[in-house]
Amino acid sequence: MSMKIAIPTILFSVLLISVTVNVANAESVPEWIKNTASWYGEGIVSESEFINMIKFLIENDIIVLEKDTRVPQKMEATIIIPNGNFDVSSSSFYIPLNLEIIVGTTVTWANEDTVSHTVQSQDEFGKVIALFNSVPLITGDRFEFTFEEEGVYNYFCSFHPWRVGVVTVK
């Protein structure tokens, strides 16, 4: 059972490395390499000699191995606490008011208001729960939390409880 899993894994990791022949050096394949390849085909030289020959081609940049160096995308999102958010009569809602993200996304709340705010997670009845809970954030402060499970998450500011927001994780 474990072998059935292991083999495709190895094949996949091999596929991540693409082999390109350096065109500039393609004509500079030494004669002894050609002979070694030919003799290996005829069973005259050993496999280790043949592998050493391939090593020589790699070390001398005749075969160039290009590893996939792309870094996995980090999933991030931001919720702005905008200027005037503290004012009950202003329309300075969280931006966005209902953030939709996928599992594994790190959300950063950024306080761009002139006064302090907090971010407190709530249950469906509006009661504060210990899931994500910031200290008071002064202007310019940020608070982050990574959502690892699907669901609808409500939060509010304990100083300005009329400010409520939602994070929906799909």
Binding site for Cu ion (CB under 5 A): 117, 157, 159-160
CB closer to Cu ion out of 62 and 113: 113
Of all residues in the shown chain, the one whose CB is closest to Cu ion is 157
3: phi then psi, degrees, rounded to nearest 5? -65, -40
Cβ at position 131, least distance to Cu ion in Å:
18
CB closer to Cu ion out of 36 and 111: 111
Cβ at position 154, least distance to Cu ion in Å:
15
Tokens of 33: 């390499």
Q: Go through 104-143 and write b for each residue having 16 or more CB atoms within 10 A of its CB, e for each that does not.
A: ebebebbbbbebbbbbbbbeeeeeeeeebebeebeeebeb
Tokens of 95: 């931006």
CB closer to Cu ion out of 63 and 153: 153
CB closer to Cu ion out of 75 and 166: 166
Tokens of 107: 């959300």
Cβ at position 117, least distance to Cu ion in Å:
3
